[in-house]
Amino acid sequence: MSLRVVFLGTAGSIPTTKRSLPAIAIRRKDELILFDCGEGAQRQMIQARIGFHRKTKVFITHMHGDHVLGLPGLFQTMSLLDRDKKLEIYGPPKIKAFVEAIQQTVQFTLTFPIEVSEIEKAGLICEEKEYEIHAIWTDHGIPSLAYALIEKPRPGRFHQEKAKSLGVPKGPLWSRLQHGSTVKLPDGRIVKPEDVLGPPRPGRKIVYTGDTRPLEELVELAENADLLIHEATFDDELIERTRENGHSTPSQAAETAKKAGAKWLVLTHISARYKEPKLLLEQAKKIFPKVDVAEDFMEIELPLLDKNY
């Protein structure tokens, strides 16, 4: 089952000819999850061929304009395309007032319901059947969140031979065992899922930092992440400026990835001063080898790992 990350905007603060403002799309089954919604996000979505009619959740990290000003345009485009599915928005305090202000002042007809959840407490903020979203507060000067998308473990592999040898007739009973239910056979014997299933298979984990200084809680959030998307606004030489502005350098991002045991680090929120990101990449690579600098429209596919089972 595919889990695809599309970087829609990878700039920090102001857009450049090559980089749009922060927005990351994650496509999972029939659902779209957006992390941040910088200006022009909807045009980037068109270019990346991401539809506007999917079940969609938007997670805003903080209320700095570069991360949130794409919402009005997104609402308008979705409405003009007659979206009718609910749009869920999660974000820090003031996100509700912002969305209400758009609806009250911008003249357009909204064709779909919007549900806004203002996050007040870190922790589990959204639970679905197959995944959870966790949030922590970061260190950025204003209330700012980092998010983790964590897939729940899937039931282990179904061993047909074991089911057959236990005399479980093929059909609905197989299916119930596969989905984790205990079943009673026609002759009265009980068969438990663990009798016929391998160990549970782990899901995938993606962490997005938003804007932040280095933070111990971030290391915890990113523990064993398959993908850590970390801001790296300025390079290591500008560490003082980075600290003053509540950001991170490539080395700091790489340290977090290393301590967390993340599998893959992608740097984003790149300052307009870097016409080309080689320097940022080199600085991070010294500490954490599996690293890339995001570009607009870069795509990452995270496969399900079934190894060892």
- Residues designated catalytic: 66
Closer CB to Zn ion, residue 67 or residue 205?
Answer: 67
H-state helical runs in the chain: 41-47, 65-68, 71-80, 95-105, 160-165, 172-178, 193-196, 216-221, 239-244, 250-260, 278-285
Closer CB to Zn ion, residue 156 or residue 210?
Answer: 210
User: Cβ 226 to Zn ion, closest distance in Å?
Assistant: 25
Does residue 64 bind Zn ion (CB under 5 A)? yes
How is residue 200 annotated by DSSP? Answer: P
Site string for Zn ion, 207-236 (x = CB under 5 A): ----x-------------------------
The two beta strands, 3-9 and 299-301, are antiparallel
Minimal CB distance residue for Zn ion: 64
The type of residue at 183 is: V
User: Cβ 201 to Zn ion, closest distance in Å?
Assistant: 37
Strand pairing partners for 158?
197
Site string for Zn ion, 168-207 (x = CB under 5 A): ----------------------------------------
Closer CB to Zn ion, residue 211 or residue 296?
Answer: 211
Closer CB to Zn ion, residue 151 or residue 211?
Answer: 211
DSSP 152-171: PPBPPPB-HHHHHHTTPPSS
Rounded to 5 degrees, what angle do the CA atoms 133, 39, 17 make? 120
User: Cβ 21 to Zn ion, closest distance in Å?
Assistant: 11
In three-state secondary structure terms, 30 is: coil
Interface residues with Zn ion (CB under 5 A) are 64, 211
